[in-house]
Amino acid sequence: MRTAALFTSSFRSLVAVACLIAAVGPAVAAPPKVKITDARVGLPPHAPDDPSATPVCKFAAWAPVYVDLEVLDGVTDPAELVVETPDADGVVTTLAVPLDLARVRPGTTLSARDLKFLPYLRPAGGTGETTVTVRTTAGTALSDPFRIRSLRPRAPLVYVVLSLGSRLPGFDLPRATSGTDEAEPATGPVRGGRVELASITDPDTLPDQWFGYEAADLVVLTTGTGSAEFLRRLFDDPVKRQALLEWVRRGGRLVVSVGVNAGAAAQLPALQDVLPYSIKTDAPVQQVARLPLYWSARETSQAGPISGNLTAKGTTVPVANLAPKAVRAARVLIPPPDRQRGEDREAVAVQAGYGLGRVTLVAFDLDRPPFTEFAQRQEFWDWVLRQGGADRASVGGEGKIRAAASGPTDDEDEVAVSLRTHVDTFDGVPVISFAWVAVLIGLYILLIGPLEYYFLTKVFGRLELTWATFPVIVLTVCVAAYLTAAAAKGRELRVNKMDVVEVAAEFDPRTGRHGGRLHGTTWFTVFSPKLDAYTVGVTPAEGWTAGAEPGAALVGWLGGPRAGRAGLIRRRYAYHVDLNAGPPPGESAVPGVMADGLEGVPVQTWSTKSFTAEWTGAIDPAAPVVESRLEHPVGDPSRAIGTFVNRMPFPAVTDCVAFYAGQAYPIGTIVNGQEVRLVLDRGVPASQWLQEKGQLPDLLGLTQSAAPGSPPGAARAGTDSPAAPPGSLPLMGLLFHEAALRHDEGVIPRNASLRRLDQSWRLAQENRAEVIVVGRVLPPRGPAEDLFGGPASPSRVWLKGLPGPGKDRPAVPGTGRQETYVRLYLPVLPAGVLP
């Protein structure tokens, strides 16, 4: 009998295996029609011929994926290129872009420049595998998966400089020699690997989505020898051009150098529109024998400015002829203010805002002689990184050397850690400590082991009863654990959400109408009381913008580099992609929709999942949320007078502060519909106010104890700062981070992944073209739909569907918490422009 049973079992196993092979055999045996020969994630390296150079990507920053493939056989079905990579929690994310192979003959090799759309991914810091596959839209694989096992994103603290058009020959920075923990070698990685270069010299490989530049802290666009054709093709391509400009508009930093090819640059209207000054079209270039340069030194370097003469042996230096714009204020960086009335008063470097970002124009070529042979080019490049990008972040942690092969960490990113911790903390939901878990596990083992054995042998005298008592004990303990957890953690959905809303107001003197653009950043965490899958999207709330714009939102996961790892069961969700949606290229949107939502995000029972979103929209000129009526008095362009009208849907915005020309002016509370008259007198230096009352120690208090025993959000003694409402997070130290930092030894920036939100550069004394008003909305709590569907929330969260024309947003059940900061950019116009 035993032999027969064994034979029957073996026969059944063989039949099962044969059936499985028969079921999957055709799919496995079918030869692939496409072969992926290479896939690279990130911006192209500065030295592509160096075998050790790898593409540049950062943790949690979108990066383009460049794929090379070979078509082996004819493909007639619609195909797509699929990229799969884990998020910070180890859950696999999927992003697919269309791939037109129907007209491609077998034997054809395609590189990234031949593909109509680039795929993108957000690299996490785990050890998960990234795969690239070609498949039909029905899901049939057309290629074997190409596995990327060496993806090692840089940490957010690395300062990335991306050059467009050339590889910046001669680029270098001053080496740290003293005053730091470690001396920096004369050759090798720049600033110990904390400043890294990437270069794109082929316009066909430029990102076609604005977030493809997200890993770059500074973009340098050159127009010198060899770059003129690149410049023309960039600005002739509406998709590639708009991707770059939209990145700047959303907070990117762009440096443009124009010299010998200023004539060609002057003929590009889209470029002229971006630049702080115009390039004269009638005489775009002037030839000078000597170009004197004066620029500011680092605060830790020397007290006075650095100077030098740019000269060319036996020839002249081509310099772009610049002219100020009538309707756009810009500040002259070179020559400095104290030399703008002398012999060398012609503007050589100028700067102005462009949306939330800034554009710096240098009127000579940074990629050709004589600058590449300039003896002081290291100091000048240091100035370019500080003035064009982030002042203190580009210094590189005061010379602190970074390990060459180190992976992503939270170093110098404590602001992001505090923010993630804050939105992931739910009032009334206790976190069970490991000690309690260990104690309960010990009691459970004691119960099913010695105690059960004692009762069965000493009390009942029948050990065989364990077949009944053991499952009863296990079932009872499981039910008790579930009921206890349900009582402690609750059975309702909870959502914590935080928004930063930035309103860039504008006035069009041609039409006499007020308008502008709205930019928002949202962080939120969902606490799920059950095992569920969520389809997530974010849109501006009603009354803020003129209407929804396809592709205006970007939604992704939020997490740290040391988050969870993939489990035994592979869970996954997909980014929503529809590259056929959207208007033609315009001022604010790139054609198509990519990553504007997440589909089927799995969340375990009593677990949380965090998300982030960036969204934008045009302000409705018929009903602008903010209307600026500020102007310079007649004959005094240094002052600002007038009013602004607040029509934001909030009932009130509290703790408002106005910043103008490097000074801070507290103005208190403004209410909906109020016309606020600004009285800008008795100001305090902006950096002093932010350091004393900006509550940066409280913002960092969630990750490092600035004052032992003080809770996050509580004002430090002696600062006389407005304490944040209970349970809220003060964000002044995020919005003006570098200005809020003290200049003490060892103080370095802590906002590595959120540098784009730092607008400290606008607090310069020379910036008299705008008034910045910052305030916060008192954080309400209550039913989630009342909060997120009412006037207290500037954004709308979708949890069970994707936004789209004609779609109604499903109500958000459960409870919620909403926190909002607003930052208004109010233009100060010349006298007589306003009606």
Tell me what the mean pLDDT of segment 35-60 comes to.
90
Tell me what the mean pLDDT of segment 521-545 comes to.
94
Q: How do beta strands 159-164 and 195-200 pair?
A: parallel
CB neighbours of 363 closer than 8 A, spacing ≥ 6? 258, 259, 262, 319, 320, 321, 322, 347, 348, 349
- State which H helix or E strand residue 687 sits in: helix 686-693
Number of H helices, E strands in the chain: 15, 38
> Could you report the per-residue pLDDT of 807-826, keeping only the tens digit for each?
899 999 999 999 999 999 99
Contact criterion met (CB below 8 Å) for 162 and 219? yes
> Could you report the per-residue pLDDT of 471-515, keeping only the tens digit for each?
888 888 888 877 777 777 778 999 999 999 999 999 988 888 999
Peptide bond into 370 cis (omega under 30): yes
Encoding tokens for residue 308? 């030098």
For residue 241, give the DSSP letter: H
Q: Report how far residue 362's alpha carbon sits from residue 343's, in angstroms, rounded to the nearest whole number.
A: 19
Dihedral, CA of residue 558, residue 560, residue 561 and residue 565, to nearest 10: -80
CA 134 vs. chain centroid, Å, equals 28
- State which H helix or E strand residue 420 sits in: helix 414-423
User: Residue 343: its pLDDT value, please?
Assistant: 62
User: Residue 326: its pLDDT value, please?
Assistant: 80
For residue 132, give the DSSP letter: E
Encoding tokens for residue 472? 């009863």
Closest by CA position to 136, among listed 69, 72, 75: 75
User: Residue 379: its pLDDT value, please?
Assistant: 93
Peptide bond into 649 cis (omega under 30): no
Report how far apart, in Å, the C-alpha atoms of 311 and of each of 171, 301, 306, 314, 318 are: 18, 25, 16, 9, 10
Q: Report how far residue 123's alpha carbon sits from residue 126's, in angstroms, rounded to the nearest whole number.
A: 9
User: Residue 391: its pLDDT value, please?
Assistant: 86
Residue 60 — left, alpha, or beta (φ > 0 → left; ψ -120 to 50 → alpha)? left
Instruction: State the burial class of residue 621 (Cβ atoms within 10 Å of its Cβ: 0-12, 13-18, 19+).
Output: middle
Determine the angle formed by the axes of helices 228-236 and 238-249, rounding to 10 degrees.
90
> Could you report the per-residue pLDDT of 733-783, keeping only the tens digit for each?
999 999 999 887 778 899 999 999 999 999 999 999 999 999 999 888 889
Looking at the predicted structure, is the pLDDT value of residue 337 above 70? yes
Q: Report how far residue 168's alpha carbon sits from residue 161's, in angstroms, rounded to the nearest whole number.
A: 10
CB atoms within 10 A of CB 457: 11
Q: Map 438-493 to HEC letters.
A: HHHHHHHHHHHHHHHHHHHHHHCCCHHHHHHHHHHHHHHHHHHHHHHHHHHHCCCC
Closest by CA position to 370, among listed 359, 360, 380: 380
Contact criterion met (CB below 8 Å) for 596 and 210? no
For residue 267, give the DSSP letter: T
> Could you report the per-residue pLDDT of 403-417, keeping only the tens digit for each?
545 566 667 789 999
> Could you report the per-residue pLDDT of 296-324, keeping only the tens digit for each?
887 655 556 888 999 988 899 999 999 99
CB atoms within 10 A of CB 586: 13
> Could you report the per-residue pLDDT of 677-692, keeping only the tens digit for each?
998 988 999 999 999 9
Residue 412 — left, alpha, or beta (φ > 0 → left; ψ -120 to 50 → alpha)? left
User: Residue 298: its pLDDT value, please?
Assistant: 74
> Could you report the per-residue pLDDT of 550-581, keeping only the tens digit for each?
668 999 999 988 655 555 566 899 999 988 75
User: Residue 8: its pLDDT value, please?
Assistant: 38
Tell me what the mean pLDDT of segment 11-31 comes to.
48
User: Residue 22: its pLDDT value, please?
Assistant: 45
Encoding tokens for residue 698? 């409280």
- Give 3-state DSSP helix, strand, coil % of the chain, rounded to 5: 25, 30, 45
Report how far apart, in Å, the C-alpha atoms of 547 and of each of 518, 550, 568, 618, 833 are: 11, 10, 44, 8, 28
Contact criterion met (CB below 8 Å) for 348 and 317? no
Dihedral, CA of residue 391, residue 393, residue 399 and residue 404, to nearest 10: -140
Contact criterion met (CB below 8 Å) for 130 and 121? yes
Looking at the predicted structure, is the pLDDT value of residue 245 above 90? yes
Tell me what the mean pLDDT of segment 521-525 comes to.
97
Mean pLDDT of the chain: 85
> Helices in 157-295 by DSSP H: which ranges?
228-236, 238-249, 262-266, 269-274
Rg (alpha carbons) of the chain, rounded to whole number: 30
Peptide bond into 335 cis (omega under 30): yes
Least confident of 173-177, 289-293, 385-389, 686-690: 173-177
Contact criterion met (CB below 8 Å) for 779 and 724? no
User: Residue 49: its pLDDT value, please?
Assistant: 78
Q: Report how far residue 177's alpha carbon sits from residue 195's, in angstroms, rounded to the nearest whole number.
A: 17
Confidence of residue 458 (pLDDT cuts 50, 70, 90): confident
Contact criterion met (CB below 8 Å) for 137 and 78? yes
User: Residue 539: its pLDDT value, please?
Assistant: 94
pTM metric for this prediction = 0.88
Contact criterion met (CB below 8 Å) for 489 and 429? yes
Contact criterion met (CB below 8 Å) for 257 and 366? yes
Q: Report how far residue 63's alpha carbon sits from residue 507's, in angstroms, rounded to the nearest whole number.
A: 36
Tell me what the mean pLDDT of segment 341-367 comes to.
90
- The total number of residues written for the chain in this structure: 835
For residue 352, give the DSSP letter: E
In 509-606, DSSP assigns E strands to 513-528, 532-540, 553-557, 572-578, 593-603
Contact criterion met (CB below 8 Å) for 656 and 669? yes
